[in-house]
Amino acid sequence: MRNISGFFLLISLLISCSDGQVREIKPDNRAISYTGRFYFPDDGRAVSDWPGTSIRCRFTGKSLGIRIKGSSEVQFNVFIDDLPVKVVSCNNGDIISVAENLNKGKHSIQIFKRTESFVGRAEFLGFVTEPGAKILPWNKPPKRKIEFIGNSITCGYGVEGASRHEHFKPETENNYMTYAAILSRRFDADYSIIAHSGLGIVRHYGDSVKVSSDPQMPERYKRTLDSSDSVRWDFTSWRPDIVMINLGTNDFSTEPYPDKNVFNST
């Protein structure tokens, strides 16, 4: 019945939207809180591709929709009032119902990116509320900030797979269940994930040369979006209290190993 009610809510929102009866909340609304690295172009989108990026706010009303554009393989966990309610995939920007039949009063929502950049990037286009509903600021600002730099373990590659031998699927990657996310929740910390499966400090997993030609993690660390070097990250915009680095496994996973002096000097 929950899926059926969600379907009818979506139809209702679509009809209301065509009649101008719903409120479109744009990504630049000051009540919306962003965790992790986002790119905000002039056209109003909020773009992200690193795993674990998060969108949060509170809201009033009995229902809520979101618009997220991107590949259908890019997936998010959705939490309403701190409870997991569904996993959603990006689409072409159509309304996705994420809450329905809620009680009156204030509620919270968190949209958490499960998948990493090679699966695809996401363009958050905003919330869709029912008439008279409001978007409110997040009321629980984290006490600490932690930054994690890593590879597949930090991404959550295959963390929900049946076994270590199962081939990768976007559905089995869930950054929310990694040591990084769990540790951050345990210590009430805001956190940022800079991680990409298979990549190393000097050499990527299974590469035939000692130094990989594709950008390694030290270079990608400077980026706002993992998949693009056109926008550099502003390191003054978010300062972590602590940085945890879990890299090097891919560099020495298979031969030929990188020269130690090259690895140590990078």
Phi, psi of 78 (to 5 degrees): -115, 130
User: What is the mean pLDDT for each group of 10 consecutive residues in the chain (266 residues)?
Assistant: 46 48 89 97 96 97 96 97 96 96 95 98 96 90 94 97 92 98 95 97 96 96 97 96 97 95 90
pLDDT computed for residue 165 by the predictor: 87
Of 54, 63, 97, 152, which residue is the catalytic one?
Answer: 152
pLDDT computed for residue 2 by the predictor: 41
Q: Does the annotation mark 208 as catalytic? A: no
Residue ranges in the chain assigned as alpha helix (H): 2-18, 152-155, 179-186, 217-220, 260-265
Phi, psi of 31 (to 5 degrees): -75, -15
pTM of the model: 0.90
The span from the CA of 186 to the CA of 190, in Å, is: 11
The span from the CA of 188 to the CA of 69, in Å, is: 30
The span from the CA of 32 to the CA of 130, in Å, is: 17
Please spell the DSSP secondary structure of 205-217, one letter per residue: TT-SSSS-SS--H
Burial group, residue 67, by CB count within 10 angstroms (0-12, 13-18, 19+) = buried
Three-state secondary-structure class, residue 4: helix
Cβ partners under 8 Å of residue 177, min gap 6:
156, 159, 160
